[in-house]
């Protein structure tokens, strides 16, 4: 059996060996921390400790770093160096397996990652087509009885898959309403949907291509198909706010059902025909997303489509939404939309305004 002195010596040896195999952090106030470096974005550093879990440290408060395992260090010049890290004369030194040590100022570091975090980062750069999706579904329903007898249903779905180089977006919505005590009984019947692909040209500028489809029974619109191509500019791009401006061109194909009544005969007769519009137009847009506090997100979109074939004619859309989180996946949403067409068929109105409220279900995949 081990004597007491030998047992204490063994514990000290094991403690020193454990410390030697761990990453060492020294702060400006003299504190020493031991653990495993997980990652850093150049502003903060995450250290996993045995008893306190993950600890986030301000990178500027660190005076010394010494690691026993190799880390992946991204530099501002685009270079990535892999190796253990030490500090020397106020600078960071990375020792790769081949070649000499690489010395760099601390403010030139973009990111530091361990092997597991580096693997996750590389996977996020090139996710599979079914990976990396985030989105939400909105459901709103109301009905009345008594002096009125109405039912209204609003459905919406949107999803986006964003990487460091591009973004794919899907979106669709439908609103249907009836009033059984009125003639006609249908008070709303619209559907819309589309797909858009953005590809970054540089950190501020991106190109986009999109296809949008919509119908509106009360405006006698059977189908409007719009194919757009253009460029966008990230005027603001932060964790709290994004503001994009878009400009380009599109080709629009739309067809309406026109009902004609002939009153010159007895009894009067009615007939239907199609009114088709095909034209090129500009696409001018602005999109805003802003976080109002920790639980509420505001989204707003404004688009104008000036007709290049019939000068003076145009179409415009405006959308404003507010979603407040109740839980991680459940929220309450309010949506306002306005669609304006300068030249609808005779007998129909230019504006269609929709206001909906209801539940929001968010998801990630």
User: What's the whole-number mean pLDDT along residues 155-181?
Assistant: 92
Domain boundary (102, 125, 148) is at 125
Assess contact for 200 and 184: CB atoms under 8 A: no
3-class DSSP state for residue 185? coil
* pLDDT given for residue 346 in this prediction: 76
For residues 282 and 263, state if they share a domain.
Answer: yes
- Look over the chain and give the mean of its residue pLDDT values, rounded to a whole number: 87
For residues 113 and 169, state if they share a domain.
Answer: no
Q: Is residue 2 part of a domain?
A: no
**Close Cβ partners of 133 (under 8 Å, ≥ 6 residues apart):** 159, 160, 161, 363, 364, 365
* pLDDT given for residue 51 in this prediction: 80
Confidence band, pLDDT 50/70/90 cuts, at residue 7: very low
Domain boundary (97, 125, 153) is at 125
Q: Is residue 74 part of a domain?
A: yes
Domain boundary (106, 125, 144) is at 125
Give the model confidence (pLDDT) of 108-152 as tens digits: 888 999 988 888 888 777 777 788 899 999 999 888 887 778 899
- Nearest-angstrom CA–CA distance, 69 and 102: 16
Question: What's the total number of domains in the chain?
Answer: 2
For residues 108 and 205, state if they share a domain.
Answer: no
Q: Please report, rounded to a whole number, the percentage of residues in the chain having pLDDT higher than 70.
A: 93
For residues 151 and 107, state if they share a domain.
Answer: no
User: What's the whole-number mean pLDDT along residues 159-184?
Assistant: 90
Lowest mean per-residue pLDDT among 188-192, 217-221, 337-341: 217-221
User: What's the whole-number mean pLDDT along residues 227-232?
Assistant: 97
For residues 154 and 119, state if they share a domain.
Answer: no
* pLDDT given for residue 13 in this prediction: 41
For residues 225 and 311, state if they share a domain.
Answer: yes
* pLDDT given for residue 173 in this prediction: 93
* pLDDT given for residue 123 in this prediction: 78
User: What's the whole-number mean pLDDT along residues 164-186?
Assistant: 89
Confidence band, pLDDT 50/70/90 cuts, at residue 14: very low
For residues 317 and 343, state if they share a domain.
Answer: yes
For residues 119 and 232, state if they share a domain.
Answer: no
- Nearest-angstrom CA–CA distance, 219 and 175: 14
Give the model confidence (pLDDT) of 259-290 as tens digits: 777 777 778 778 788 889 899 999 999 999 99
DSSP 52: T
**Kind of pairing, strands 330-341 and 166-179?**
unpaired
By residue range, what is the domain housing residue 341?
Answer: 133-364
What is the CATH classification number for the domain harbouring 344?
2.40.128.130
3-class DSSP state for residue 116? helix
DSSP 99: S
Q: Is residue 273 part of a domain?
A: yes
Write out the two tokens for 90.
Answer: 């106020």
Taking the whole predicted model, whether its pTM rises above 0.85 is answered as: no
Write out the two tokens for 216.
Answer: 């509106």
For residues 342 and 231, state if they share a domain.
Answer: yes
For residues 213 and 330, state if they share a domain.
Answer: yes
For residues 222 and 106, state if they share a domain.
Answer: no
Q: Is residue 3 part of a domain?
A: no
């Amino acid at each position: 059996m081990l004597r007491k002195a030998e047992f204490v010596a063994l514990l000290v040896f094991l403690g020193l060996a454990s410390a030697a195999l761990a990453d060492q952090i020294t702060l400006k106030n003299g504190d020493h921390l031991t653990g495993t470096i997980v990652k850093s974005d150049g502003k903060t550093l995450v250290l996993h400790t045995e008893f306190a879990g993950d600890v986030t440290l301000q990178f500027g408060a660190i005076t010394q770093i010494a690691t026993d395992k190799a880390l992946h260090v991204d530099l501002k010049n685009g270079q990535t160096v892999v190796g253990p890290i030490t500090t020397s004369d106020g600078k960071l030194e990375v020792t790769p397996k081949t070649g000499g040590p690489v010395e760099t100022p601390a403010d030139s570091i973009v990111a530091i990652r361990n092997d597991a975090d580096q693997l996750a980062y590389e996977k996020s750069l090139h996710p599979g087509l079914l990976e990396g999706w985030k989105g939400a579904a909105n459901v709103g329903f109301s009905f009345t009885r008594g002096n009125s007898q109405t039912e209204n249903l609003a459905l919406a779905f949107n999803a986006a898959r964003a990487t460091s180089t591009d973004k794919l977006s899907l979106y669709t919505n439908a609103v249907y309403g009836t009033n059984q005590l009125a003639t006609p009984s249908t008070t709303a019947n619209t559907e819309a949907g589309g797909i858009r692909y953005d590809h970054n040209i540089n950190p501020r500028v991106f190109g986009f291509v999109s296809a949008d489809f919509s119908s509106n029974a009360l405006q006698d619109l059977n189908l409007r198909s719009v194919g757009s191509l253009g460029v966008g500019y990230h005027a603001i791009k932060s964790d709290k706010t994004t503001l994009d401006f878009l400009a380009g061109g599109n080709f629009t194909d739309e067809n309406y059902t026109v009902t004609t009544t002939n009153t010159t005969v007895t009894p009067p007769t009615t007939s239907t025909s199609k009114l088709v519009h095909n034209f090129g137009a500009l696409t001018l847009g602005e999109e805003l997303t802003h976080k109002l506090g920790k639980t509420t997100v505001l989204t707003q979109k404004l688009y104008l489509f000036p007709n290049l074939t019939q000068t003076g004619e145009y179409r415009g859309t405006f959308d404003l939404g507010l979603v407040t989180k109740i839980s991680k996946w459940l929220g309450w949403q309010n949506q306002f939309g306005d669609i304006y067409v300068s030249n609808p068929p005779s007998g129909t109105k230019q504006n269609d305004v929709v206001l909906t409220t209801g539940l929001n279900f968010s998801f990630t995949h």
